[in-house]
A and B are shown apart, each in its own frame.
Chain A
Amino acid sequence: MTNAMSYNDAAEELRNILADLDAGKLNVDELADDIKRAKELIDICRSKISEAKTSVQVLTGADVN
């Protein structure tokens, strides 16, 4: 499900959640849901970054770490 998301979509959704967190408008329940969602998005983004790094390294041999 989430892996079907693109990195940009996941990052954008994450930014929006972070913006809501910064604004402090969320109640505890909404916050918990957003945090849970944010964690999922972070995992997705990490996974996408890792895949991209691996691809770049395979294709170019360059060390992008």
Chain B
Amino acid sequence: MSESKTVTQLHSIIQESVSTGVGSVWVIGEISSAKVNGNHWYLDIVEKQGPDQKVVGLLSVAIFAPQLRMITHKLKATPGVTIEVGTPVRLHGEISLYQPRGTISLRVDDIDVQWTLGQYVADKDAVLRKLQKEGFLEKQKRHQVTPAPFKIGLVTSMGSAAEADFMDELKRSGIAFDVKISDSQVQGADAPKLLVEALVKLARVPNWVPDIVVLIRGGGSKNDLSTYDSEILAKTVALAPWPVLTGIGHEIDRSVCDEVAHTAFKTPTAVAGGVIKKIKDYHDNLEAGIVTAANNALTSLSNTNYQLEKVQDRSISVAMALLQKHENALDSATLRLFSQGTHILKRNEDQLNLQEGNINLSLSRMFKDQQNFIDQAEMLVKASDPAKVLARGYSITRIDGKAVSSVEEVTIGQTIEIELSDGKIQGEVKK
């Protein structure tokens, strides 16, 4: 029977072999889990392969307090790299066997942050190249943002600083925006998938279509940003049925989502500012357009007025000349008429006077003739009046009231009445 070894003896052999055979080593992998225990960090890093990024190897990593301080200092000096799930890391350390559990782990004493950064860039570049090749980079450009995008779909982590910054900026504008928030986790391995779901959720809001969708995230590490370098998220953004504006929250680098978005802003506040500016510009342009149109109209009116005034002046001159001409003609006609009228009137008056004179003359003659006739008749009547004959001594003899003109008419003894000028006497015929 061959010699047996105890577990710890075997562990010692393994430890010796590993230490001798491997020694200090740089290992690359993606952090798949991270735990903090006191002042120590315990990570798992994995190697993925294939199109489905299947995990083909896993290594436990331990960062103990003394090394952790140095590594933390290094991470702080390199913004954009954090120790968290999904971070690709290049770690230095020694392989160690933890005997109580029989596990091998890498006891880390250094980290290559530049490698992580380079990896990010490399990954991002790879995605970008792919998206460009497949035509996704330009897809959002087909959308035209409405001049006044009041309806906003907001994809972010509800309650985050990003949301607060964005909403505060909108509120300060005084513009009545209609914002619907689609909540999503924005970091971690599942973040891309959740963000895609949040975008899809916005498309399913009944009876509401956003003018724009805003994808924002607060400032964070480079690793946080890698969520937005996700190919699936970038493709979803590119294919979204509305303009997608990003405010991923990084001052220097642009994420893949920024590249495929309709418009990329650096921060959530900047997105809000951009939207507000667009509306204000539209309003100002509208106002300016109205003012310009009004000015043009006024100028046009002024020109028209000037032309009208010219025409009016000319018309007035022509009219005045015409009026003057007519007035002169009228004066002349009036004068002629007056002259002729006066002449006619004078003639008629003369004729009337003449006729009046003739009438008066005729009347006088007529009255005189009649007067003469009456005077002559009176003279004749007076001359024929028996009273005058009687006055001259003649008398009228009557028998029984009848005048006697012959002696043959009387007989002796008859009573006769003799009328004299001053009375009557009676007598008797004697012979």
Contacts and interface: CB of A to CB of B under 8 A. Distances in A.
Contact of B402 (A14, A29, A32, A64): A29
Interface in A6-65: 7, 11, 14-15, 17-18, 21-22, 27-29, 31-32, 35, 38-39, 41-42, 45-46, 49, 52-53, 56, 60, 62-65
Contact of A21 (B363, B367, B374, B380): B380
A53 B374 contact: no
A18 B367 CA distance: 20
A35 B405 CA distance: 19
Contacts of B364: 63-65
B384 A21 contact: yes
A65 B359 CA distance: 13
Contacts of B374: 14, 42, 45-46, 49
Contacts of A21: 380-381, 384
Contacts of B405: 27-28
A41 B377 CA distance: 10
B385 A42 contact: no
Most buried by A among B356, B359, B381: B381
Contacts, number: 66
Contacts of B380: 18, 21-22
B373 interface: yes
A38 B377 contact: yes
B386 A60 contact: no
B260 to A, nearest CB: 122
Contact of B384 (A14, A27, A31, A46): A31
Contacts of B373: 11, 45
B188 to A, nearest CB: 134
Contacts of B378: 39, 42
B370 A28 contact: no
Contacts of B356: 60, 62
A31 B386 contact: yes
Contacts of A31: 384, 386
B342 interface: no
B415 to A, nearest CB: 18
Nearest to B403: A28
Interface in B345-394: 356, 359-360, 363-364, 367, 370-371, 373-374, 377-378, 380-381, 384-386
Interface in B390-410: 396, 402-403, 405
A28 B396 contact: yes
A39 to B, nearest CB: 6
A59 B405 CA distance: 55
A53 B396 contact: no
A48 B385 CA distance: 24
Given A29-B402, A45-B374, A52 B385 contact: no
Interface of B: 356, 359-360, 363-364, 367, 370-371, 373-374, 377-378, 380-381, 384-386, 396, 402-403, 405
Given A31-B384, A38-B377, 19 more contacts: A11-B370, A14-B374, A18-B377, A21-B380, A21-B381, A28-B386, A28-B403, A28-B405, A32-B386, A35-B381, A35-B386, A38-B381, A42-B374, A42-B377, A42-B381, A45-B370, A49-B371, A64-B363, A65-B367
